[in-house]
Structure 1
Amino acid sequence: MSNYAGGPDTLSLEQRSTPEIGDGEVLLSVIACGVNYPDILIMKDLYQIKPVRPFIPGTEVSGIVERIGPGVEHISIGDRVIGFSTHGGLAEKIALSAQNCIPIPDNMPFEEAAVFMTAYGTSYYALKNRACLVPGETLLVLGASGGTGTAAVELGRALGAKVVGAVSSAQKASFVLSCGADQCLVYPRDPLDRVSKKAVADLCKQACGPEGASVIYDPIGGDYSEAALRSISSRPVKYLM
């Protein structure tokens, strides 16, 4: 339970009663809970959503439907689902609106399902709906080893693009390549000055090739944005931040 604004050190393990469900709700037996950057922001009161304290963190979960309330039609007891809420996921049971639950295939692991909606939903919307990424384009992904970054790499590859990742260490680069990136560059961890910005821009240009990046996916911002934009295609570029 989070009684005070802060990081994971403000949490405590407590016994709570099983949540009651109402009309249009389901009781989910939680198998796995995703941990995302917004969860930390919510705990620190730095997000637009500020639950009344004390509260249980955890915005996305996967599990098995244990009970259903009146009016629930598209979900049945025993269904394997992904569930989404503002909080409450780091618990054995959670009451959710049935509208926030999506059935998952039998062969989808609960651990993967629990981290699917936030990272992959965000990245898919950005690449497909906003950037309109098409086969043959070059996608440059900054912060490519993070949650949304990894999702962008995998989705970019699935959408037929050439995918170039950008990360801050060789270990992260190896991971990004294993996720399907065609290439991955390593940029410096330290703050960028004028010289290092140009150096990072040159790395991006070399990795993206002579035609440059068609789409830039940037979950980092700041100095890296300017460097990445210097690697843009001679054709109109689509930048997502």
Structure 2
Amino acid sequence: MHAAVVRSFDRPPRYEEFATPDPAEGRVLVDVLAAGLHPRVRSGANGTHYTSDGHLPLVPGVDGVGRLPDGRRVYFVADDDAPGTMAERTLLDPRRAVPLPPDADPVIVAAAMNPAMSSWVALRRRVSFQPGQSVLVLGATGNAGRMAVQIARHLGAADVVAAGRDPRRLDLLPGLGATRVVSLAGDPDLAAERVGEAAADVDVVIDYTWGHPTQLAIPAVLTRRTERSAPLDWIQIGSMAGPDITLPSFVLRAANLRIMGSGQGSLTAAGIVAELPSLVRELTAGTLTAAALPLPLSQVERAWTAPTEPGSRVVFTTSA
């Protein structure tokens, strides 16, 4: 078969022939129809993701839309030890797959499920989020952040504060459900002050930035809260701005801050998969929107580093 193959962590994958995986107990060989190029895929392909074992060669891709031997189409999440999804075929564990409705667009599903899943699962599994609460999305101008704005409003958030750097993407977020937008551009200290003023009394933070912006934002938000004993759930999902922060000890004593992560390990695979059918329904119904750029898998090397339009996600397709 053909696949995107990573043979060096410092080069994009190349389209080449690769051995078709042998079906194993509990796994089914499926035709891959579409697989999204997510940040999680990039970090796996360059060896920087925390689950990377350093072994090469590898086929990247963490999820996709596949066709089972009986013709049914499913969305599935690949096992950590299975070949990636950017190939004509891969192995699928039926316990990590959900059927797609006949009218589901494989490209849209492949583009949207991974970025949407992060905030959908976080708000439904990591915290007891209730309609009427308020949410800050830190890093809202990325694809996952844009989906998080939509999802927070869809799940009943009364107030969604969207903070991000890209002014073009920031301008689009009120149309997706943001009630307030905050620019993270310019002086970092001033940006943190803007975040603190706009999001002082939110109930939940969905954080895709981490690093220096989060390090400044946490005290800025907490010191402005009307009632510091009111719980604030800070959910760390991404680390676009850096993997580490320095957290002053006083913020943990002076406010009711609960920091947690949402991702592989903090949630069981079964818990994540249990949320997928409802998310598929929302995407198929058009409740949540996503822009996709479908490209043949054969173009993977060129497309890996090519710029895309704001809000658009590359989805590799096969002729299967």
Report the TM-score when normalising by structure 1: 0.81
> Higher RCO, 1 or 2 (CA under 8 Å, sep at least 6)?
2
Alpha-carbon distance in 1 for matches of 2:128, 2:204: 9
Q: Which runs of 5+ in 1 are unaligned?
A: 68-76
Structure 1 residues 26-66: Cα deviation after superposition (integer angstroms, max 9, x where no partner): 2222221012222222222222233632121111111221x
Q: Which runs of 5+ in 2 are unaligned?
A: 237-320
Could you tell me how far 1:81 is from its partner in structure 2?
0.5
Judged with a 3 Å threshold, the aligned counterparts in structure 2 of structure 1 residues 205 and 54 are, in CA distance, closer, same or farther, namely: closer
* Corresponding residue of 1:70: none
* Corresponding residue of 1:127: 123
Structure 2 residue 182 is the aligned partner of structure 1 residue 185: yes
Contact kept, 8 Å, 1:140 with 1:217, in 2: the verdict is yes
* Corresponding residue of 1:174: 171
Structure 2 residue 160 is the aligned partner of structure 1 residue 160: no
Alpha-carbon distance in 1 for matches of 2:235, 2:21: 40
Structure 1 residues 157-186: Cα deviation after superposition (integer angstroms, max 9, x where no partner): 111111111110211102333332222221
Runs of 4+ in 1 over 6 A off after TM superposition: none
Contact kept, 8 Å, 1:7 with 1:40, in 2: the verdict is no
Secondary structure in structure 1 of the residue aligned to 2:221: coil
Alpha-carbon distance in 2 for matches of 1:116, 1:225: 25
Contact kept, 8 Å, 2:141 with 2:166, in 1: the verdict is no
Alpha-carbon distance in 2 for matches of 1:15, 1:201: 49
Could you tell me how far 1:240 is from its partner in structure 2?
1.4
The number of residues matched between the two structures is 221
Alpha-carbon distance in 1 for matches of 2:54, 2:23: 19
* Corresponding residue of 1:38: 40
Structure 2 residue 213 is the aligned partner of structure 1 residue 224: yes
Contact kept, 8 Å, 2:184 with 2:192, in 1: the verdict is no
* Corresponding residue of 2:75: 82
Alpha-carbon distance in 2 for matches of 1:139, 1:105: 31
Secondary structure in structure 2 of the residue aligned to 1:129: helix
Alpha-carbon distance in 2 for matches of 1:88, 1:231: 40
Alpha-carbon distance in 2 for matches of 1:155, 1:221: 20
Which of 180, 198, 201 lines up with 2:192 in the alignment?
201
Report the TM-score when normalising by structure 2: 0.62
